[in-house]
Amino acid sequence: MEKSKDLAAGIPPPASTRPTPPKKHSWRRYVALVSAALLLVTVVPLDGPPRHPKHPPGRPPHPPLPADRAEELFLTVPEAASALGASRVYATHPHLAGSTEDFDDAQVILQLFQDELGIPPSKKSSIYKAGSRESRHATLGLTSKFGPPHPTAWIDTYFPILNTPLNRTLQLLGEGDKVIFDADLVEDGDPTDPEAGEYRDAVPAWHGLSFDGEATAEYVYANYGTQEDYAELVSTGVDLKGKVIITRYGRIFRGLKIKGAQELGAAGVIIYSDPRDDGHVTEANGYATYPYGPARNPTSVQRGSVQFLSLYPGDPTTPGYPSYEDAERQEGVNIPSIPSLPISWANAVHFFPQLRDGSEADSYPVINGKVSKDKIKVVNHVDTKVTPIWNTMAAIPGHIRDEVVLVGCHRDAWVMGAADPTSGTVSLHEIVRGLGALLKQGWKPLRTIVIASWDGEEYGLVGSTEWGEDFDKWISKHVVSYLNVDVSVAGSRWDVGGSPSLADLIKRSALEVPHPTKPGKTLWDARSDEGPFKGKPDSFVGPEVYYGNATFVSEAPESEITPLGSGSDYTVFLQRIGVASTDQGFGGTDSDAPYHYHSVYDSQRWQEVYADPTFERHVAVAKHLGLLTLRLTDSLILPLNTTRYAFELDSYLARVEGLITANFPSSESSKVDFSDLRKAIKSLQDVSLELDDEKVEAEKKFLELLDKLPKRPPPPPPHGPPDGPPPPPHGHPHRHPPHGPHDGPLRVHRCHGKRPGVMRRIKFFLFTIQSALRSFVGLRPRHPPFPPHHRRFGHHPSFFPQTPQEHLGFTLALADEHGPHGHHPPPPHGPPPPPGPPPGGKHPRPLPPPPHQYPVDAEHPPPPPHDGDHPFPPPGGDRPTPPPPGGERPDPPHRPHPPQFPGKPFPIHKFILAAKRISRANQALRSFERGFISEDGIKDREWYKHLGVAPGKWLGYGATTFPALTEAITYEKNATLVGYETGRLTQLIEKLAEDIKPRKCGHKKD
């Protein structure tokens, strides 16, 4: 048998769909049916609760863990020793996306999820092809009523277009094409850093998704290759057509440097790392180079994707839809059509002498429009093909299944990636450990948590983007927030960005996390930290460093949380789907050891010596991100501050007004009218303030009703002697009545004309058959299966809600099953039956109320259940209790008496309305960010649909607020287009204000 191409390449193939079993002979089918019937009659317990692997059958799970105690316990789990150990596992080998090592790491993370979250091993493979039934169900089933009751983990395999290097050449050619200099294009891999020495040639230095081609031409220097730099270069009179452009890294995404050159007609681009961007810590300032000191190793090379990120991320050939194995491919328009190469400073200095015009005082080049005398030859040949990548996923179902908090970090690296992204993976590792510890203590989240280890991020956010495009409708409907971490630690200063609605939660949580290195301070204080290398009085620091710091400070809003542009996995969630997102990590300053970004020297040794010697910064990020997760998960009202967001729009508009003045003459600027937009923003602010009042009142009302509930009754006495056998599988010596406000196996699901689902019908059909067969052979029938609101919790039928989170989830589940007001449905056929004994002439014994109902005060017990409250005789041969005296007509079987408050009936409808009120408020909160999504997207880059914030058209990493409007002013300089974009944004904000306006219907004032 011929081996597959994947196996030949050393890449394990994803699991395939299970083949259809062959047909059996009729007599075999007959034997199988008879055997199944006997098994059904005597063994199969359709009435049993779902079994949790951590709990013995029939025994209730650990008591619930309150939210405040959960936070306290979580914060004790992340620790430096564990983080260091994890980093030494993940950061000591290459794991390029799509490689065998990458697949191995995907399975290591899967095992971590399974071990820490208590997920038992499966006999079937948990690796699915994207688009397969298994893959779709793994995600979509999480928010289904019949989804998994316990944590799950799996791997989704996508098939994007990626490339790897074949051969590369960079030469300086003299007269007659004589080679003057031949760049080695390698990092020296000094063995003082053991992994750098071992893997120096494992992943050659090249640009991901770069163009396969060659170019030979004169060259020109273009500084950072920004639009401003190219404009300055063109202003000198130089013709860039057919030239090779040399730029340095920094300021903007590397792919946009190439896009700018390509649009000016350049033949190729070279990008190098410049010490002027390294602050004080340079060889010129007296510092030894790594690995012998903190300064940048001069042979280090920054690899990286050159995708045009601001057009769209992800697989270039499947924009807007997922890269399944059989996906229809398009020609990628977000990748270059000219070759490029990354080089080191050691190689770059050989090309600078011909670019000087005699005015420079040092060896650093500047923009002067001078064209080289000699030519440069660029050769970049790559192998471009469909390559599998693997997103490793885990989920913890919550009481409210259909609200999801998503946490993620990418896993792939250009080489070892001790900082990018292993530091983030290590922080995620500690978060998973913390969540696992909570689960072991009986905690269950209010909302569902999904944890993602993305793949392919380095090529252009591929894994997260393909998953986001695959499940965009599901994400839009269910995900309340996305919490991202990428480079958790690469320096001393903590930076954080995010949606304005998350700003207060981010700050409040950071103030509760201890500073990683300074006792008495908090993580929030680390935003102003400096590195340990302060620099000498005469040390040189490039002005670009100070410019970058000043720009960062000036763009920080009043909330002190900067808006997100792009460059990491939050992009698809925030800027295409409209999910409130955040990103954080420790970055470098001008007094930190320079970070060897995407180099072989982004190694474990560099991390331990310079970035985070104690690994306490890794832990601090884990604690903060974990607190954000818990608070978004367990808060009754989502901690999203829409009013902060609404008032921050004022600063967005003020910035746009300033751009009008700077880009249009007064005759044109006077025609631009922002009055309607300003009025829409004011209306949104007013409505958001109303929503603030509503969410406070909704939570207050729910908690007031909760406070009036009697506490949980004392547990029943143990069954039998202390050393006796465990209780029966259902946990009680008696049979339970049906677990719902309506009895009977089918009527419980016919609420408001809603037909039961297929699986419920099958279960009740099998139950009916089982009961008949058991009666036929002389065995007692079993009681019917417990209803979905118990299954949704994954609890034993004796489950009783105790925490506010459990009460809210349980009440919403009841409302979902029995209608928004808790009303009982009418009988399916005509009036209720007259009083009298059930068929067979026997009355059932009165039983306690179903365990899901709230307990009542012992001094005011509920009326005993009437005839028909339980469809089957009790076990044990006891004589049935006669019907209650008095001749009163009993309630029909589907109307049991609800529990009561002391002295009055239990107001279940008020409780359900209060829960629904909270649900409506949360729906408005999570839809706020969605309100900025326009299906038409941003002009010329329609993949981006968020009209509030997007990566800058020529920035990539940096954010632009009101992007469509801003670009109509700054790039198009078209007053008509400005008016159109103003109107489009105004309509969007007006609709958002209407959508989040609190509705007074559905609840009444007491």
**Residue 852's pLDDT is what?**
36
Q: Is the pLDDT of residue 503 over 60?
A: yes
User: Among all chains, which residue has been given the structure tokens 């019937």?
Assistant: 37
Per-residue pLDDT of 115-136, as tens digits, reads 999 999 888 999 999 999 999 9
Report, as an integer, the average pLDDT of 639-647.
98
Q: For residue 59, what are its two tokens? A: 């025994």
Q: Is the pLDDT of residue 18 over 90?
A: no
Name beta bridge partners: 407. Answer: 451, 483
Report, as an integer, the average pLDDT of 764-772.
52
Give the Cα separation of 387 and 400 in Å (integer).
Answer: 37
Of 342, 364, 384, the domain-final residue: 384
pLDDT band at 910 (very low <50, low <70, confident <90, very high): confident
Element (H, E) at 401: strand 400-410
* Residue 228 in domain: yes
Q: Tell me, what amino acid is at 269?
A: V
Residues 419 and 504 in one domain: yes
Q: For residue 602, what are its two tokens? A: 């982004």
Q: For residue 735, what are its two tokens? A: 């049979």
Per-residue pLDDT of 952-983, as tens digits, reads 999 989 999 999 999 999 999 999 999 999 99
* Residue 801 in domain: no
What DSSP designation does 844 have?
P
- CA 435, 436, 437, 439 dihedral sign is positive
User: Among all chains, which residue has been given the structure tokens 């399974």?
Assistant: 114
Residues 343 and 401 in one domain: no
Q: Is the pLDDT of residue 448 over 60?
A: yes
**Residue 715's pLDDT is what?**
52
Phi then psi for residue 420, to 5 deg, are -115, 105
Q: Is the pLDDT of residue 768 over 60?
A: no
- Residue predicted with more confidence, 822 or 909: 909
**Residue 803's pLDDT is what?**
76
Residues 446 and 512 in one domain: yes
Residues 185 and 223 in one domain: yes
Q: Which residues, in sequence order, are CB contacts of 366 under 8 Å at separation 6+?
A: 221, 223, 360
Which residues are catalytically annotated?
457
CA-CA distances (angstroms) from residue 252 to 308, 309, 361?
11, 11, 27
Per-residue pLDDT of 132-189, as tens digits, reads 999 999 999 999 988 999 999 999 999 999 999 999 999 999 999 999 999 999 999 9
Q: Are 318 and 131 in contact (CB under 8 A)?
A: no
What DSSP designation does 275 have?
G
**Residue 669's pLDDT is what?**
80
Q: Tell me, what amino acid is at 173?
A: L
% of the chain exceeding 70 in pLDDT: 71
CATH number of the structural domain spanning residue 946: 1.20.930.40
* Residue 50 in domain: no
- DSSP calls for 492-524: SEEEEEE-GGGHHHHHHHHTTSBPSSSTT-BGG
Q: Are 331 and 322 in contact (CB under 8 A)?
A: no
Structure pTM? 0.80
Of 327, 359, 384, the domain-final residue: 384
**Residue 536's pLDDT is what?**
65
Give the Cα separation of 347 and 245 in Å (integer).
Answer: 15
Candidates 490, 463, 417; CA nearest to 202 is 417
Q: For residue 125, what are its two tokens? A: 């493979």
**Residue 97's pLDDT is what?**
99
Report, as an integer, the average pLDDT of 366-381.
97
**Residue 232's pLDDT is what?**
97
**Residue 460's pLDDT is what?**
98
**Residue 761's pLDDT is what?**
52
Through-space distance between the first and last CA atoms of the chain, rounded to whole angstroms: 76
Per-residue pLDDT of 385-423, as tens digits, reads 999 999 999 999 999 999 999 999 999 999 999 999 999
Q: For residue 272, what are its two tokens? A: 């190098």
**Residue 875's pLDDT is what?**
37
- 3-class SS at 912? helix
**Residue 333's pLDDT is what?**
97
pLDDT band at 230 (very low <50, low <70, confident <90, very high): very high
**Residue 537's pLDDT is what?**
58
Name beta bridge partners: 247. Answer: 271
Q: Considering the chain, what is the average pLDDT of its residues?
A: 82
The domain in which residue 250 lies consists of: 163-384
The structural domain count of the chain equals 3
Residues 422 and 568 in one domain: yes
What DSSP designation does 969 have?
I
What DSSP designation does 364 have?
-
Phi then psi for residue 619, to 5 deg, are -70, -40
Of 341, 358, 384, the domain-final residue: 384
pLDDT band at 332 (very low <50, low <70, confident <90, very high): very high
Q: Is the pLDDT of residue 547 over 50?
A: no
CA 910 to chain centre: 35
Give the Cα separation of 334 and 317 in Å (integer).
Answer: 9
Q: Is the pLDDT of residue 34 over 50?
A: no
**Residue 770's pLDDT is what?**
53
Give the Cα separation of 509 and 70 in Å (integer).
Answer: 15
**Residue 637's pLDDT is what?**
97
CATH number of the structural domain spanning residue 336: 3.50.30.30
Give the Cα separation of 990 and 987 in Å (integer).
Answer: 5
Q: How many residues does the chain have?
A: 1006
Return the number of other C-beta atoms located less than 10 Å from residue 596's C-beta: 27
Give the Cα separation of 783 and 940 in Å (integer).
Answer: 63
**Residue 66's pLDDT is what?**
82
**Residue 262's pLDDT is what?**
98
For the ranges 333-337, 695-699, 747-751, 883-887, the lowest mean pLDDT is seen at 747-751
Report, as an integer, the average pLDDT of 512-521.
98
For the ranges 324-333, 357-366, 784-793, the lowest mean pLDDT is seen at 784-793
Name beta bridge partners: 583. Answer: 484, 497
Q: Is the pLDDT of residue 769 over 60?
A: no
* Residue 703 in domain: no
Per-residue pLDDT of 695-729, as tens digits, reads 999 999 999 988 877 665 555 554 444 444 444 44
CATH number of the structural domain spanning residue 450: 3.40.630.10
**Residue 39's pLDDT is what?**
44
* Residue 796 in domain: no
* Residue 706 in domain: no
Residues 577 and 651 in one domain: no
**Residue 710's pLDDT is what?**
64
**Residue 701's pLDDT is what?**
93
Q: Tell me, what amino acid is at 772?
A: A
Residues 410 and 309 in one domain: no
The region, left, alpha or beta by phi > 0 then psi within -120 to 50, assigned to residue 73 is alpha
Q: Tell me the pairing of strands 479-489 and 581-587.
A: parallel
Candidates 345, 337, 264; CA nearest to 307 is 337
Name beta bridge partners: 622. Answer: none
Helices 422-440 and 616-634 cross at an angle (nearest 10°) of 50
Report, as an integer, the average pLDDT of 99-108.
98
* Residue 14 in domain: no
Residues 670 and 573 in one domain: no
Q: Are 420 and 478 in contact (CB under 8 A)?
A: no
pLDDT band at 909 (very low <50, low <70, confident <90, very high): confident
Phi then psi for residue 493, to 5 deg, are -105, 130
Residues 229 and 364 in one domain: yes
Is the peptide bond preceding residue 421 cis, with omega within 30 degrees of 0? Answer: yes
* Residue 86 in domain: yes
Residues 355 and 399 in one domain: no
Give the Cα separation of 359 and 364 in Å (integer).
Answer: 11
**Residue 580's pLDDT is what?**
99
- Residue predicted with more confidence, 768 or 740: 768
Residues 196 and 302 in one domain: yes
- Residue predicted with more confidence, 537 or 894: 537
- Residue predicted with more confidence, 847 or 762: 762
- Residue predicted with more confidence, 63 or 920: 920
**Residue 670's pLDDT is what?**
81
Candidates 809, 596, 802; CA nearest to 149 is 809
Residues 395 and 281 in one domain: no
Query: CA gyration radius for the chain?
Result: 33
